[in-house]
Chains A and B, each alone.
Chain A
């Protein structure tokens, strides 16, 4: 293995791949679909967290920082009923109904502060998190003491169906699989098939470049693309949240699994038509966990039968439910095992390719 040669080959593949229609199509499609979904279902244009306040006492000291907050869209309502109606419609993601005497209670350090918060059932976790932290800061500034010492009672009330997922949330698993798996899989396979078709593979291996160098360079480029694509899709879908290091670890393992699978497919396929035929046949197995996620009524265990579940699930758990390492450790272990198994298989495929290369030249 020679790092310098691998770097040269990665550069060459990146350049040639940029003109490969199929590879570009596979990379661009998930991004376009993500943007379309975000546009159609509103997440892209309505990313600012929405807060509604009913404040009969005009507690300027508390509401002013929220009205002036650059990252929150705050609206004042005339009545509690109007506020509830706005939250029910989804116009506001969080509604604060402040009781009479709220302003005075803020001034009096010893007074109990009691108010109601209406939460829209379909509000995104990320936006709720932002709103809650803005509220905490506004209250701290209003009273002049730290939030955890405040004598505050919040009566949280959910409006609308609980755990309802938006369409962009439902489609995110499928998009993630498309981006990470296809991004990582397609490029190494297409690039290797091109080398076989033009007999450049044998030309390369008749230089000090080994077949392992060639395979590693293609796997590496698939791995990088997979990582970039996974991150982009998470960002577009506002899901690059939670523990970023964990997300990156899962994306990296998913990228390794996908690119190793891609280079193996490219190696065993006779030509591009055969490869596309295989993808058509096994594609449903790759997408299955993402498709099943669209229908929440389908039991979770069915998804677990498919390898890509162990890539998709931890990403969703971390980005949407704020899971930590302990909660997704099993998924990560399975994903790592699949990746290792594919790398072992790849090693044997390289040996066979060496023989095939000699026979086909």
Chain B
């Protein structure tokens, strides 16, 4: 679906923002591109959506070199930017209807899309009266209006409350089930962990690691379990103990704690994506 080989991009003033990046995305995959601000993730996305020209390297999208695509590229590609960009004097429905007319292929009903992200009741409200979260949801569904094969989404859950954030993640999973490929740029590790099939860490214009969140957690976490408990079933201060996962069923100490104490929590000690990012790149995400 998308392959990038040795991508390098240098801005006109000389800053080398992306250095020899390689990755490939399969159809139906949700690929997370993670990194702190200034790491090169937005530059990579801008190159991939043909906003930035003059890159070095080979990029093939939908079976064709990126350089050979014309504006018909956007008939098959949907883009949602990090910041809302709508006509503030038009209503939500009018905004979607306007963009719908710019595509020549089949498009989705704008009212149906608004319903999908909980904006049906505000369909006839001018965008100037929308909150940032509402504008972000509209940003997101606008990218889906022409049913693209490939979606480029930049921080799609930024500014959303947990309920709406969850709604967007569900829609993304649904899009994946329908066979769409999603390139997700984010610095939100939780979102990436929950919905991405694979993630790439990018720092200083270079990809340091690519794998599935599960593999990363397993590779970089500890194979241990941590138990928090109150001794003898009393309300005494919580105590904790850690045990290796291997041979856990044969650990008398572990089994004894389970039998004789009131258990507060039991967790395996996988690393979070954020821990792995810091561990592998030596950088934080902020």
Q: A203-B86, A207-B146 are in contact. List 9 more A-B contacts (CB 8 A).
A: A16-B87, A16-B90, A198-B85, A200-B87, A207-B74, A208-B103, A209-B71, A355-B12, A357-B51
Chain A residue at minimum C-beta to C-beta distance from B90 = A16
Is B86 in contact with A208, judged by CB distance below 8 angstroms?
A: no
The answer to the question of A64 belonging to the interface, with a C-beta cut-off of 8 Å to chain B, is no
Query: Which of the residues B11, B53, B83 comes within 8 Å of A199, measured between beta carbons?
Result: B83
- C-alpha spacing A12/B98, complex, angstroms: 8
Is B102 in contact with A5, judged by CB distance below 8 angstroms?
A: yes
The answer to the question of B89 belonging to the interface, with a C-beta cut-off of 8 Å to chain A, is yes
Task: Using known A-B contacts A12-B98, A199-B81, A361-B46, determine if residue A208 contacts B72 with beta carbons closer than 8 Å.
Answer: yes
Within 89-116 of B, Cβ neighbours of A (below 8 Å) are at 89-90, 98-99, 101-104
The answer to the question of B174 belonging to the interface, with a C-beta cut-off of 8 Å to chain A, is no
Is B81 in contact with A203, judged by CB distance below 8 angstroms?
A: yes
Is A203 in contact with B85, judged by CB distance below 8 angstroms?
A: yes
Chain B interface mostly:
loop
Interface size (A, Cβ < 8 Å)? 23
The answer to the question of B10 belonging to the interface, with a C-beta cut-off of 8 Å to chain A, is no
Query: Which of the residues A16, A207, A357, A359 comes within 8 Å of B102, measured between beta carbons?
Result: A207
Please indicate which of the listed interface residues A8, A209, A358 has the most CB atoms of chain B within 10 Å of its own CB. A358
- Produce 1/0 per residue, A308-331, CB < 8 A to B: 000000000000000000000000
Query: Which of the residues A19, A208, A361 comes within 8 Å of B51, measured between beta carbons?
Result: A361
The answer to the question of B193 belonging to the interface, with a C-beta cut-off of 8 Å to chain A, is no
The answer to the question of A354 belonging to the interface, with a C-beta cut-off of 8 Å to chain B, is yes
The answer to the question of A241 belonging to the interface, with a C-beta cut-off of 8 Å to chain B, is no
Is A200 in contact with B52, judged by CB distance below 8 angstroms?
A: no
- C-alpha spacing A208/B49, complex, angstroms: 12
Is B71 in contact with A210, judged by CB distance below 8 angstroms?
A: yes
Interface size (B, Cβ < 8 Å)? 30
Is A358 in contact with B46, judged by CB distance below 8 angstroms?
A: yes
Chain B residue at minimum C-beta to C-beta distance from A359 = B11
Is A208 in contact with B74, judged by CB distance below 8 angstroms?
A: yes
The answer to the question of B197 belonging to the interface, with a C-beta cut-off of 8 Å to chain A, is no
Query: Which of the residues A16, A19, A206 comes within 8 Å of B74, measured between beta carbons?
Result: A206
Within 188-206 of A, Cβ neighbours of B (below 8 Å) are at 198-200, 202-206
- Which chain A residues lie closer than 8 Å to B53 at the CB level? 354-355, 358
- C-alpha spacing A225/B52, complex, angstroms: 34
- Which chain B residues lie closer than 8 Å to A198 at the CB level? 85-88
Chain A residue at minimum C-beta to C-beta distance from B84 = A199
Q: Smallest distance from the beta carbon of B104 to chain A beta carbons, Å?
A: 7
- Which chain B residues lie closer than 8 Å to A359 at the CB level? 11
What are 6 sample pairs from A and B whose C-beta atoms fall under 8 A apart? A5-B101, A199-B81, A200-B86, A208-B72, A358-B46, A358-B53
- Which chain A residues lie closer than 8 Å to B89 at the CB level? 16, 19
